[in-house]
Each structure stands twice: as C-alpha cells, then as structure tokens.
Amino acid sequence: MPHGLRTTAVARLRLAAQGLLPLGSAGDLLAPAADPAAAVRRMGALQSQDLQSGLLAIGLRTRTCAASEVAGALANGSIVRTWTMRGTLFTVAAEDARTFVGLAHERVMRAASSRHRNLGISEEDVAVVRKVAEDRLAGGVGLTRAELFEAFEAAGQPSGAQRGIHLISILSHRMVLVQGPLRGRQQEFRLADEWLPPGPGLAGDDALEHLAERYIASHGPVDERDFAWWIGQPVGRVRGPFRAAASRAAAAEHAGRTLFCSQEVAALAGSRTGARAVAAVPGFDELAIGYPDRSVAIPDPYLQRLVPGTNGLFKAMVTVGGRAVGTWTKGGRPTAPRVEPELFEDLGPAASAALARAVARIESYWAG
C-alpha cells in the first residue's frame, strides 16, 4: 500500500471495506455479503436508530438486496437490533449482542443516570417492569413497544414523556430485552435469554480486540481514535487492544495519522478500483457516521446540505468513490416507491449510468 494516502483514496478504500463496491469489481472477500447475517457480522454493527434506514443499509451490503431477506434474518434471530455503544440503536449479529452491550452498558447507564432520576425511575421501578416483561414475553412471545408500554402502564409504571423508552433501554442494557422480528413497520421485543445464542459473550480486552479487528476490516482505513469513538470508549481504554488487532493489518499515512485496514483493502490502494463507483446509501449510514470525522465521506462544501444546521440528522447520500455528491429522497407512491436524487454536481455519462443502477438496486430492495 502506498505510504501516503490522499483523502480520495481513503474514501474509496472505505467504500470497499464496507462491502459497497459493485459485485465483481473487487475480490470475493470485498464483495457484497451472501446474506444479511453475513453483512451484519462483517460490519460488526450498523447504526439503526431509524429502523427502515438501518434495514436498507444491511440490504445494500448483500448480493440480492431484498427487504424480505433482511426481515427474514430478524425473524430467524440471526440478527437483532438493540442499544449497544453510545446509547444508540445498532443492528448486530445475535452472537455479538452480549459482547457489544457488555462493553457499553456501564458507561451508557452512568451517562443517563441524571435523566433517569428526573424521570423518577428507581431500581424498584426497574424491577417492576422487568417482571412485567419477563412474564409477558416468556415462551417466545413478542410485543411491540406500544404493547410493552401498555403493560407497563397496567403495572403502575407511566410510559409518557420518554419514561417508557428509558425503561426499555435499561432492560435492554441489562440484557433482558432485544428487538427481533418485524410486525408491519414495527419490531417485536423478545427476551434476550430466549432469543440470543447461549453464552456470556466476550469481555474486557478480548472483546475490544475482537471488535477492533472487525472495525478495521469493515471500516478501514482507520486508527485508534476512530475505533474509540465508534465503540464509545476512551482512547486509552482501547489503545492496547486496537494495537494488537492493528498488528495484523496493513498501515498507511494520511494527514499525519497512521491508518489501518485489511490486507484485501490495502491491495486496492495502488489501483483505481472504486474511484468512480456510485453508491446511494440511506441516512445515518456507516459510510458517513461510522467515523468521528465525516469529512472523508462528506466534502466540507456539502456538509450543510447533508446535515442541515449540523443537527445530527444525516440525509441519504449519493456518493462517487465513497464521497458525497448529492442526496436522495424516497418518492413515488406507497405501492411503487422511487428514489429521487438531488445532485450537487454533474456526474458525466458513465457515473450517471452507474447512479441509475444504484437507484434500481434500492427500488429492487423495496420491491423484494
């Protein structure tokens, strides 16, 4: 790999690492995954606070890209959605859920403690809703958020003013609940001990090294600061495990930083692979928000158009070579949705044709 990487090279290498290159444009290890569970496992975790965007992000990283297949992976329990790092909802492989939540729960709950006090949530209240959830969900039963809130209210636990969602978050961080199958456009909550594979998951440095290796492979080129932000831990806490994982990766310099990626991604650095690849990704996609510095994926002149007012709400992106060149919205009819791009610059004939294929891929996902 070249010693020094330009920003455009980092962007296209990240596009490759995330499995977003067109099928056949890179080696098998960098091709879109065979199925949704493999895509999620490869990525480690995909931010999914917006459910439909999160599901599309998974579909776009699979070969067939069908909504029904992503729904099937939630239904069969191979992937789950829950609060993992940074107090945010992510979709993870079922076997990784305990590892992610185990690392995150103490810091997240400590940060939320004052909010819980303001909402009048005590340990006694948590014990009440835990028993309600365990009684109502036992035996493979699933309930939506609204149904859980109704059950909490019946037990004397108010769910308004965000109290209910904080109670659910507490139960999720204690590995009582996970989100599983879809019911319409909602997800059902299931008991974690019934729905997840048995076993405690990894902990401590073992967990951090395992997830750092996954992050380097799926998001690289990255460094320890990127990983610390993504996993929601102090840099000093992750430094040793990250360096252990990075010792098996390829390294290059960018803007005075040493970045690491998989050997397969590094092999593309000296070529033009992905330089004109077009990808359309949903809002809150890992391509933009999987890193603390979004300037690689979003050029500074376009930041306000993709994150208006820098309010944390990321619009869906059209990218060329892993860098944003526009946004897109969902239009058309409910029964025949369409992707409606808004470009910030002219793409030229070849990239325009590639955009048409990217649009068709999303519309095929919705149809499937």
Tokens of 220: 């690289």
Q: Per this entry, what is the length of the chain?
A: 368
Does residue 267 form part of some domain? Answer: no
Residue type, 362: I
Cβ-Cβ contacts under 8 Å for 6 (sequence gap 6 or more):
254
49 DSSP assignment:
S
Q: d(Cα 70, Cα 61) in Å, to the nearest integer? A: 11
Q: How far apart are the first and last CA of the chain?
A: 39
Does residue 296 form part of some domain? Answer: yes
Report the pLDDT value the prediction gives residue 252, as an integer from 0 to 100.
94
Angle at 177 between CA 175 and CA 181, to 5 degrees: 135
Q: Is the peptide bond before 200 cis (omega within 30 degrees of 0)?
A: no
Report the pLDDT value the prediction gives residue 27, as an integer from 0 to 100.
78
Tokens of 341: 């791009």
Q: Convert 238-248 to b/e letters by CB count within 10 Å (16 or more is b).
A: bbebbeebbee
Question: Strand pairing partners for 336?
Answer: 333
How many Å separate Cα 337 from the centre of its chain? 24
Report the pLDDT value the prediction gives residue 79, as an integer from 0 to 100.
99
Strand bridging mode 323-333 / 317-320: antiparallel
E runs forming strands in the chain: 46-47, 79-83, 89-93, 177-183, 186-191, 250-254, 257-261, 278-281, 317-320, 323-333, 336-343
SS3 content of the chain, % helix, strand, coil (to 5): 50, 20, 30
- For the chain, residues with pLDDT lower than 50 are none
Is 354:278 a contact under the CB 8 Å cutoff?
yes
Is 254:7 a contact under the CB 8 Å cutoff?
yes
Write down the pTM of the prediction: 0.96
H-only helix segments in 119-197:
123-137, 145-154, 163-173, 192-195
Does residue 290 form part of some domain? Answer: yes
Does residue 11 form part of some domain? Answer: no
Residue type, 198: P
> How many domains in the chain?
1
Question: How many other CB atoms are found less than 10 A from the CB of residue 223?
Answer: 18
C-alpha distances in angstroms, 274 versus 6, 71, 262, 269, 294? 14, 29, 16, 10, 19
How many Å separate Cα 344 from the centre of its chain? 26
Does residue 329 form part of some domain? Answer: yes
Tell which residue, 206, 209, 181, 184, has the closest CA to residue 94: 181
Q: Which domain holds residue 304?
A: 278-367
Does residue 175 form part of some domain? Answer: no
Does residue 315 form part of some domain? Answer: yes
pLDDT in tens, 300-322: 999 999 999 866 889 999 999 99
Does residue 132 form part of some domain? Answer: no
Report the pLDDT value the prediction gives residue 186, as an integer from 0 to 100.
95
Report the pLDDT value the prediction gives residue 174, as an integer from 0 to 100.
98
Report the pLDDT value the prediction gives residue 107, as an integer from 0 to 100.
96
C-alpha distances in angstroms, 348 versus 278, 316, 355, 356? 12, 21, 10, 12
